[in-house]
Structure 1
């Protein structure tokens, strides 16, 4: 399973650590956080481009020793509207990780290292960064319940195709230059309420890209020392411009995003039994909370022993 759940006790320790750290690697603007967090994308600054653990050779070594199922790789020069979930299904079955690492730039390589926090060498640094994020999101969105990190290494011309995640994200550019295109998660022309319900219920494929979306995109230029906040389920696409790029992504969920996820999942159930237009998630906090509670009650009825053990 990708990522880790965060207990209340662990969250309290992370919060205390983040609040006490006066020399952090991440630089959050309080006004930007207050005005834009989880509503609109925004840029932030960081110093990870100065950290030796995120140089190319240590990261290539991490890729070599990390569990094979945690390291996804392919050629990077794919269509920007390719299916994201199928993009790592390699048609070139002779492409190996060692070969790609040796000939990374000529092959326009693209590597995603899932969960570097599970590596003994990288875990202390990742947890330190998570503590910083916890301290700055807590006043607005308390209690991170789950997180997962990813290191992206890509050559010039590599593309991360259009897709949306089921959580929030801070994408931190460490080496090279990228353009990140984001779309509003609240724009019904980009994702309808029904599409969002199915996305969070893991029904079918993610909502697809359409050419008419292009004029609604927001474009962000990323260079070393800049990061970008992705709101909950905001669609995005990323292009690598420099010869070699390194990025670190922190994806996370909170109690609030968990409530929204559960409300979307209940809406998906209501649609399956014939209610075509349940109230969209996000219009009423009270209704969203009631839907989340209803879904959890249904789950307890279906799996009483499982819930009794908790």
Structure 2
């Protein structure tokens, strides 16, 4: 039987999953965010009209589990129309970094604070919940999110519709190699999927009010059922996660100029030197990121010509 933890935004532990498995293993959760006024289609359409365009990604939902990122079919609608017509649009969409809107930032932090308190902490920082971000997913019926991994920890909550969420152990390098992890974080998130992996997955079958905890870099793929779906990922990055992410990004940049690198953790002294240099450079260019045009340029320089794949004409 799948273990379940509940939060409402105030989380109450119905079992020991939160203490036993967090943050190393996935587990099911329950929540009461379904029906929240910030998470219905009209309000999400409004949010889509307000967010910077490079924080909205969408394409056809008719894709393969092991989807070639260079062959993803597009949807010829603007973001607001995708949301309004999601039942028939045949689309998959994510609105990124929704914490940029104050109401959503409060919702995310209030929800995570309930988790922190359930674990015996008085604040998000005490619990290690740093760099809190939110991602809202809107998908048409029978859509697929291809096999991929994410560079943060995540409470994934189902708001509307039915969804199947299948997760795989990130320590199994037979499923995802170190090289694929780096590439998925810095080029395109999609990973190669083999049907022989199927028996190794943990599937969560979710309806409104359900969800799951997705640990850092655990690969997964997702599919919806016969109605449109609204979901939200409530994410955060610990200090250690930020360190490993920065090393992956810098390693990718060095690899791009012909200097292959060992994965994070293999050479601790060299990792420390690379991290110090990379963070100094990032701090120097951070003020430039206020401009959408400059963000495009910086992504292209750091991550290659496909870095802006979700922006038309990028």
Pairing partner for 2:192 from 208, 228, 239: 208
The CA distance in 2 between the partners of 1:46 and 1:205, in whole Å, is 28
Counterpart for residue 112 of structure 1: 94
Aligned length: 275
Asked whether the 8 Å contact 1:260–1:288 carries over to 2, the reply is no
Cα offset for 1:274?
A: 7.0
Cα offset for 1:133?
A: 4.1
Structure 2 residue 296 is the aligned partner of structure 1 residue 296: no
CA shift digits 1:117-160 (9 cap, x unpaired): 21244333233224334445686994333232111111210111
Structure 2 residue 142 is the aligned partner of structure 1 residue 157: yes
SS state at 2:34 partner: helix
Q: Which runs of 5+ in 1 are unaligned?
A: 1-21, 282-286
The CA distance in 2 between the partners of 1:67 and 1:223, in whole Å, is 30
Pairing partner for 1:103 from 63, 74, 85: 85
Flag the 1:28–1:267 CA change in 2: closer, same or farther, 3 A. Answer: farther
Counterpart for residue 185 of structure 1: 170
Asked whether the 8 Å contact 2:91–2:143 carries over to 1, the reply is yes
CA shift digits 1:33-82 (9 cap, x unpaired): 22212322111111101423222322223223333333323332222221
Counterpart for residue 241 of structure 2: 257
RMSD, matched Cα? 3.7
Structure 2 residue 196 is the aligned partner of structure 1 residue 219: no
| TM-score normalised according to structure 2 size | 0.72
The CA distance in 2 between the partners of 1:185 and 1:24, in whole Å, is 28
Q: Which runs of 5+ in 2 are unaligned?
A: 1-6, 286-314
The CA distance in 1 between the partners of 2:247 and 2:68, in whole Å, is 26
Cα offset for 1:169?
A: 1.1
CA shift digits 1:241-289 (9 cap, x unpaired): 141211110122101223444565687769x7577xx5874xxxxx786
Pairing partner for 2:58 from 65, 73, 79: 73
Flag the 1:30–1:296 CA change in 2: closer, same or farther, 3 A. Answer: farther
Asked whether the 8 Å contact 2:163–2:222 carries over to 1, the reply is yes
Structure 2 residue 180 is the aligned partner of structure 1 residue 195: yes
| TM-score normalised according to structure 1 size | 0.72
Asked whether the 8 Å contact 1:45–1:226 carries over to 2, the reply is yes
Counterpart for residue 230 of structure 1: 214
Counterpart for residue 144 of structure 1: 129
The CA distance in 1 between the partners of 2:17 and 2:167, in whole Å, is 17
The CA distance in 2 between the partners of 1:62 and 1:254, in whole Å, is 27
Asked whether the 8 Å contact 2:243–2:275 carries over to 1, the reply is no
Asked whether the 8 Å contact 1:73–1:112 carries over to 2, the reply is yes
Flag the 1:274–1:304 CA change in 2: closer, same or farther, 3 A. Answer: closer
Counterpart for residue 127 of structure 1: 109
Counterpart for residue 168 of structure 1: 153
Flag the 1:85–1:172 CA change in 2: closer, same or farther, 3 A. Answer: farther
SS state at 2:132 partner: strand
Counterpart for residue 5 of structure 1: none
The CA distance in 2 between the partners of 1:290 and 1:27, in whole Å, is 42
Cα offset for 1:182?
A: 0.7
Asked whether the 8 Å contact 2:92–2:140 carries over to 1, the reply is yes
